[in-house]
Structure 1
Amino acid sequence: MSMNRTLPLVAVTAVATFLSACGGGGSSATATQDTSTPATAQQQPVTLPPTPSKPPEQPQPLNRYSFANGCFTLSSEGRYLQAGTDGYQLTTSAGEATAFYMKPTALGRYLLVSNYQRDPGAFGDIELLGISDPAGEFLDDSGNFIGEVSYLVSGLGDTLNLVLDPIAPLGGLLRELGESLDGLGDNIGEINVQPALGKVDKASDLAVWNVNPSEGERFTVASQVTGLLLTATDEGLTLSSPSLEDDNTRFTLASAEQCASYPEAHVSADVEEQGPAIYLREVERFRNVPGLDNDDIFGYVDAHSHISAYEFIGGRINYGDPFHKFGVDHALHDCAENHGPEGLTGVVEQVTSTPGPHATRGWPDFPYWPRNNSLQHHQSYYKWIERAHLSGLKILVNHLVHNEILCQLNPQKQNDCDTMVAIEMQAEQMHRMQDYIDAQNGGPGEGWFRIVTDPAQARDVIADGKMAVILGVEASKALNCGEFLNVAECSREEIVERLDRLYAMDVRSLFPVHKFDNAFGGHLPDLSDGIGIGAVLYGGNLLETGHPIEFEECPEHEHGDTSNPVADALQPLGIFDQLLFQIDYVGERFPASPEELAEYDPRRGTDHLCNTRGLTDLGFFLIEELTKRGMMIETDHISRKAASQILDVTGARGYPVINSHGGWGGTEDLRNQVAAQGGIAASFGSVRGNWVDQLTRDGNRPRADEFKVGPFGGAPFASDVNGIASLAGNPGTPDQETSLYPFTSVDGRVVFDKQLTGDHAFSLYEGRGVAHYGLYPDQIADMIANSDRSEEQVNDAVNQLFTSAEAYIRMWERLELATQ
């Protein structure tokens, strides 16, 4: 499949590439069950239809991916690695061998951990096999290698044998090689670097080892940075050139016990052996529902998320990563790295959550963040997403997101502001995330996070017990096609070329317009009143396009109901208010305060004003190009006129479209038309009665029976996670914890307890609401247990949510048929 590519970490230099060993191999799956924080309640078994028995699986031979998160000893020719007081040595006694915990940093690459200890509330003391950096010349603060490979090779040549002799026979050759590499060997001057193989106390690139297959069932262990091979000789533990590979550089890795650990967030779930349900017929509530097929998928959809937003609008706006090669304590460490001491330079945080200083520390105790309304802190770490997946999340749509003007205004940016560059970089990061999760689970294709490019692939992935991830794009200047003073900044040829580039990176969904007018059409400016979002977008549009929004009275039949109380409650200001008003150097081009900006709002005194701009000629051309490729079209954020034009064009050919962003899809009439034409309408995730109302409304929108899953329309939700938008709160109080936790999933196969990350047990009821993505299972359980709606309404809401995965894939299948 096209998504099973390996996107390697950025090469350090051509020398490192020359020295690094290559390898390949198969894969073996590992279990997703988490018993580290077992639930205290007994699961209620569900009687399921009999399934054919499978023959017992035969043990698979070890490959370079098999060691993920396992415990192993390393031996070569009867010599075992052993951790000493100050370093590592060799022993001929198997009973004295050190067991290493092998933490993958990427596919086939590992940290070899010999010891890890941590007191509650503190970071751990760790011991790793690696190469020291005493002068601090080779690594940045995050442990990434930035030094000169030639000098490092030279230094290692002089300190090759740590056990008996500081200069092994190969040392002189390596120094000669290092000093010959582009003349860089002595560029550090008089600093006595002296890198050495031994015990290091921090994860870094110098502690990463490539495990590659060799003869028989033995492996070589090569330094990622230098390419030199770990070598066990009678004289001691050394490093050798890859060209000198022999029996002394080939290691047997044997399974061991009593291993060191490595920090990681928990899914805090106890999963039955067969895993979460895949098909509706496996779940008691759907077993006797008429009109359902045996292969209808059980599960829900997040139709709008931003996992990759930690890199958007220049980077350093959000703090935290969805994954990190060195683990959770690096991914969710301390937001002072981006937001300064006490978080005081985090502009968005200062105006949207609790103004003033806040505790910046994340791991291990998370005293302040994440929380549902803390908008500059990452909320979708991969283990948190995995927890949601175990509760039935079968499809996750991740929108690669960017806004060029906000990137230009962002004083903290570290990434390119060009839209295509920013979007392609985020797409690459999502493939890296897939590879990283594969690495944690036993090799390519073995992870639960699978980027898919067509509905058949999505069905296959879900049938394999995994989660289908769809990549979309939500950018104000989509395909770099802005306009200034009504002149388009792209041509038809450029649209085709850029769309093909995104398609090749597995993007399958796109917003033609977002927030500002662009070369494709007008945007939706009229969701808010007074000094709200609409007025701010009016000013932002002036900065982006050089002209104001041109308004007209909305057509009578399009007035509809534009209210969105949930979105208004969750997003009273929005990112555009937050950034445009807070960045000083916008200067005289933009009003200085919301009150001043309100004076420029041409909608004052009217109830309904709509953008005069519909689709442009290039906009119609884009819609045609999207339909040719079978790509999903998102109709949110676009003017009502343009949305109606898209629905006219696509409706005539039976090509469904998507409203994934709640009230940003325009009027209820427009959202009903999306559903009536076989498309998907989703609302923001909410809480209790409000969420019941939204799910039942979206699932019961008028649609033909052919567009239903049995009697259900299917209602996804939109998290908008990391899109600088609040997640849902929760009115529960701490005394309600015991009435919810532990709870059983809707399919009856998973028991969840409070989610544990480091020392923090996250609860819905600690005042943070849906603090991170892993609490959506809790929010669903809370909606079922604590909604004030009738039992019939709650059941309908649950049924609409858990048929949304089947409804979404059927929509995608109809879309594909319309291209033929």
Structure 2
Amino acid sequence: MPLRRPLHVPAVLVLLAALLLAVPAAPAAHADDGVRGYVDAHSHLMSYEAFGGQVLCGKPFDPRGIQEALRDCPDHAGNGAFAWFENFMRNGTPFGTHDPNGWPAFKDWPAWNSRTHQQVYYTWLERSWRAGQRVLVNHLVANRQLCEVYPLKRNACDEMGVIRLQAQRMREMESYIDEKNGGPGKGWFRIVRDSAEARRVVQDGKLAVVLGIETSEPFGCQVIGGVPQCTRADIDKGLDEVKRLGVSSMFLCHKFDNALCGVRFDGGTTGALVNTGNFLGTGRFWQAETCTGAAHDNTLASAGTVDDEVAALLLRLGKAGITLPLYPKAPHCNILGLTDLGHHMLQGMMDRHMIVEIDHVSAKAAAATLDVLENAGYSGVISSHSWTDEHYVRRIYGLGGMVAGYGNASDRFVAEWRRNKQYRDPRYAFGYGYGLDANGMGALPPPRAGNSANPLRYPFTSPVNGVVLDRQSTGQRTWDVNTDGVANYGLVPDWIADMRDISGPEIIDDLANGAETYLEMWRRAETR
């Protein structure tokens, strides 16, 4: 039986919620029917249903119209003074105010740094599709621990129940967009189950929507006091179910250690709070050692607080189930890697031709995962939003996998693209993607620093397909990427055009090759 005990959580610990939420087969050149288009490899359209259903405000669509979809949370009413979670995530303090009215004024939200307000209303996504986006990986997301500590709820905290609900909402959104475009099958938003279907959708000029899962305890695979709370049979049953739901891409762990793998730490102050969540959920703080290899996890806040002798003692205590948030000198590596259950999960994903999301697993678990994939010649692996150590990028490319950068400011994104591209494998077609993590309680790309000297000028021509776009407007609000950054998903084309203006056409070519590269990677995973 799972080990459960009541927890009395001080109010300050609820703030950790802000942080829960980055031999190959013989390859061929681009397929004869190669496609062009951008790839968002990591976003969360339906996360408003997660974490109890009261953390995120607004929806990507509502049959009753935009005035219902883009409403603020009820507890933000008045001047937003009670929106402590939004205030903390946006400003670093639980105190503050904002105009809670969304439609039609949009005075204070959406904004690039507003983490709890809807970022992907469907017409904003439509603008990105019209400008050349052709693949969207939508991760169904859940976190039981965040749900349990957040005081407001309208949904249960069971992670798989939330995943099922979000999958249902995705189908409802597909049908809603169909209705707006002439009936069943007529819409531009198409959920796909395999690479061949995705290619047909992209060739038709529509958006291929891939379902993924990013959750902390997939299939109940929590670990408490070192004891796994799931079995191989649970994993097999769960994988079969999510395949029936249409899921094609999946993480093994996220934010907290689980029965499958150790997690890649969050660093600094963020890490201290998430580490508290790890203790509340597993009964243990993270355990770290000083890394001996090049790859490492993020550095924990209390780095260097103990010497080598005490660090060795802490590791021995950890094996006995006694952990303290005290750590040796950096660089830090989670002592936990890929477990036996994690190996079983990974093999089950490969057997079902699923794409392995390598972000968020510890350096030790990532190395073991890549060993398994390399031994199997399995190309279906992706770093979808800059959450794996850069020393593994070469191995990902060597498998024929794919890398997508987190949605940073355009100059920072370009710099990361250049670093990653140097590790490309010339045996495989190269394309690059971005992982906006929209509605994932992370910031969208901010305005580029110092852009007044060379701003994006409106109207502009979308680099990939020649569509002419002026400033985006919704209701009474008009946004400008130079001052507003990517305030909502509709400004993604402006962000990409800004990259072209500051770095030239090469990055646009690589982003435009993203759809083809993703589809070829997926196809190799299906035919290994």
Give TM-score scaled by structure 2 length.
0.86
Residue in structure 1 matched with residue 427 of structure 2 by the alignment: 706
Whether 2:193 is the aligned partner of 1:453: answer: yes
Answer yes or no: is the 8 Å Cα contact 1:535–1:600 preserved in 2. Answer: no
Counterpart amino acid of residue 345 in structure 1:
F
Whether 2:449 is the aligned partner of 1:743: answer: no
Distance 1:809 1:558, change over 3 A: same
Choose from 679, 695, 701 the match for 2:417.
695
Give, in whole Å, the separation in 1 of the partners of 2:150 and 2:89: 17
Answer yes or no: is the 8 Å Cα contact 1:323–1:331 preserved in 2. Answer: yes
Whether 2:444 is the aligned partner of 1:727: answer: yes
Counterpart amino acid of residue 683 in structure 1:
G
Residue in structure 2 matched with residue 376 of structure 1 by the alignment: 116
Give, in whole Å, the separation in 1 of the partners of 2:286 and 2:360: 14
Answer yes or no: is the 8 Å Cα contact 1:687–1:783 preserved in 2. Answer: no
Moved more, 678-687 or 732-741: 732-741
Answer yes or no: is the 8 Å Cα contact 2:222–2:228 preserved in 1. Answer: yes
CA RMSD of aligned residues (A): 2.2
Residue in structure 2 matched with residue 622 of structure 1 by the alignment: 345
Give, in whole Å, the separation in 2 of the partners of 1:386 and 1:796: 25
Answer yes or no: is the 8 Å Cα contact 2:132–2:465 preserved in 1. Answer: no
Answer yes or no: is the 8 Å Cα contact 1:513–1:638 preserved in 2. Answer: yes
Residue in structure 2 matched with residue 777 of structure 1 by the alignment: 493
SS at match of 1:749: coil
Give, in whole Å, the separation in 1 of the partners of 2:69 and 2:44: 16
Whether 2:358 is the aligned partner of 1:641: answer: no
Give, in whole Å, the separation in 2 of the partners of 1:801 and 1:609: 33
- Once the two structures are superposed, residues 51-79 of structure 1 have per-residue CA deviations (whole angstroms, 9 ceiling, x without a partner) of xxxxxxxxxxxxxxxxxxxxxxxxxxxxx
Answer yes or no: is the 8 Å Cα contact 2:285–2:325 preserved in 1. Answer: no
Residue in structure 2 matched with residue 295 of structure 1 by the alignment: 33
Answer yes or no: is the 8 Å Cα contact 1:678–1:811 preserved in 2. Answer: yes
Displacement after TM superposition at 1:294 (Å): 4.6
Answer yes or no: is the 8 Å Cα contact 2:56–2:73 preserved in 1. Answer: no
Counterpart amino acid of residue 485 in structure 1:
G
Give, in whole Å, the separation in 1 of the partners of 2:169 and 2:162: 11
What does 1:423-572 align with in structure 2 at a 5 Å threshold? 423-525=163-265, 527-529=266-268, 532-559=269-296
Distance 1:544 1:370, change over 3 A: same
Displacement after TM superposition at 1:672 (Å): 2.1
Distance 1:736 1:814, change over 3 A: same
- Once the two structures are superposed, residues 197-248 of structure 1 have per-residue CA deviations (whole angstroms, 9 ceiling, x without a partner) of xxxxxxxxxxxxxxxxxxxxxxxxxxxxxxxxxxxxxxxxxxxxxxxxxxxx
Counterpart amino acid of residue 326 in structure 2:
P
Give, in whole Å, the separation in 2 of the partners of 1:732 and 1:647: 37
Give, in whole Å, the separation in 2 of the partners of 1:612 and 1:621: 20
Whether 2:478 is the aligned partner of 1:756: answer: no
Residue in structure 1 matched with residue 45 of structure 2 by the alignment: 307
Give, in whole Å, the separation in 2 of the partners of 1:627 and 1:292: 24
Moved more, 743-752 or 407-416: 743-752
Distance 1:540 1:735, change over 3 A: closer
Count of residues in correspondence between the two structures = 475
Distance 1:762 1:732, change over 3 A: farther
Give, in whole Å, the separation in 2 of the partners of 1:678 and 1:534: 32
Displacement after TM superposition at 1:419 (Å): 0.6
Give, in whole Å, the separation in 1 of the partners of 2:223 and 2:135: 34
Displacement after TM superposition at 1:600 (Å): 5.7
Choose from 386, 390, 397 the match for 2:126.
386
Displacement after TM superposition at 1:326 (Å): 1.0
Displacement after TM superposition at 1:337 (Å): 2.1
Counterpart amino acid of residue 272 in structure 2:
A
Answer yes or no: is the 8 Å Cα contact 1:312–1:402 preserved in 2. Answer: yes
Give, in whole Å, the separation in 1 of the partners of 2:37 and 2:149: 41
What does 1:201-220 align with in structure 2 at a 5 Å threshold? none
Counterpart amino acid of residue 491 in structure 2:
L
Whether 2:372 is the aligned partner of 1:655: answer: no
Answer yes or no: is the 8 Å Cα contact 1:336–1:343 preserved in 2. Answer: no
Give TM-score scaled by structure 1 length.
0.56
Give, in whole Å, the separation in 1 of the partners of 2:179 and 2:362: 44
Give, in whole Å, the separation in 1 of the partners of 2:291 and 2:382: 20
Displacement after TM superposition at 1:681 (Å): 1.3
Whether 2:391 is the aligned partner of 1:672: answer: no
Answer yes or no: is the 8 Å Cα contact 1:407–1:417 preserved in 2. Answer: yes
Answer yes or no: is the 8 Å Cα contact 1:635–1:657 preserved in 2. Answer: no
SS at match of 2:139: strand
Give, in whole Å, the separation in 1 of the partners of 2:255 and 2:408: 23
Q: Percent identity?
A: 39
Displacement after TM superposition at 1:537 (Å): 2.6
Displacement after TM superposition at 1:733 (Å): 8.5
Answer yes or no: is the 8 Å Cα contact 2:54–2:73 preserved in 1. Answer: no
Distance 1:556 1:734, change over 3 A: closer
Residue in structure 1 matched with residue 56 of structure 2 by the alignment: 318
Answer yes or no: is the 8 Å Cα contact 2:43–2:439 preserved in 1. Answer: yes
Give, in whole Å, the separation in 1 of the partners of 2:527 and 2:478: 47
Distance 1:509 1:734, change over 3 A: closer
Which of the two has greater helix per residue? 2
SS at match of 1:729: coil
Residue in structure 2 matched with residue 395 of structure 1 by the alignment: 135
Displacement after TM superposition at 1:633 (Å): 0.9
Give, in whole Å, the separation in 2 of the partners of 1:732 and 1:606: 34
Give, in whole Å, the separation in 1 of the partners of 2:521 and 2:212: 16
Whether 2:128 is the aligned partner of 1:405: answer: no
Residue in structure 1 matched with residue 406 of structure 2 by the alignment: 684
Give, in whole Å, the separation in 1 of the partners of 2:511 and 2:256: 32
Give, in whole Å, the separation in 1 of the partners of 2:360 and 2:326: 19
Displacement after TM superposition at 1:336 (Å): 4.6
SS at match of 2:527: helix
Whether 2:103 is the aligned partner of 1:367: answer: no
What does 1:172-183 align with in structure 2 at a 5 Å threshold? none
Moved more, 675-684 or 446-455: 675-684
Counterpart amino acid of residue 777 in structure 1:
P
The unaligned stretches of length 5 or more in structure 1 are 1-290, 564-571, 573-598
Decide which structure has the larger Cα Rg and report it. Answer: 1
Give, in whole Å, the separation in 1 of the partners of 2:256 and 2:163: 17
Residue in structure 2 matched with residue 327 of structure 1 by the alignment: 65
Choose from 73, 87, 103 the match for 1:350.
87
- Once the two structures are superposed, residues 717-767 of structure 1 have per-residue CA deviations (whole angstroms, 9 ceiling, x without a partner) of 1100010000011137997899611111113531111111111112113x4
Taking CA–CA contacts closer than 8 Å with sequence separation of 6 or more, which of the two structures ends up with the larger relative contact order?
A: 2
Give, in whole Å, the separation in 1 of the partners of 2:345 and 2:456: 52
Choose from 139, 150, 159 the match for 1:419.
159
Answer yes or no: is the 8 Å Cα contact 2:222–2:259 preserved in 1. Answer: yes
Counterpart amino acid of residue 776 in structure 1:
V
Displacement after TM superposition at 1:338 (Å): 4.4
Answer yes or no: is the 8 Å Cα contact 1:364–1:760 preserved in 2. Answer: yes
- Once the two structures are superposed, residues 70-106 of structure 1 have per-residue CA deviations (whole angstroms, 9 ceiling, x without a partner) of xxxxxxxxxxxxxxxxxxxxxxxxxxxxxxxxxxxxx
Counterpart amino acid of residue 267 in structure 2:
S
- Once the two structures are superposed, residues 693-728 of structure 1 have per-residue CA deviations (whole angstroms, 9 ceiling, x without a partner) of 22233334231x3312xxxx2110110001000001
Displacement after TM superposition at 1:485 (Å): 1.0
SS at match of 2:67: helix
Answer yes or no: is the 8 Å Cα contact 1:305–1:719 preserved in 2. Answer: yes
Residue in structure 2 matched with residue 632 of structure 1 by the alignment: 355
Counterpart amino acid of residue 337 in structure 2:
G
Counterpart amino acid of residue 446 in structure 2:
G
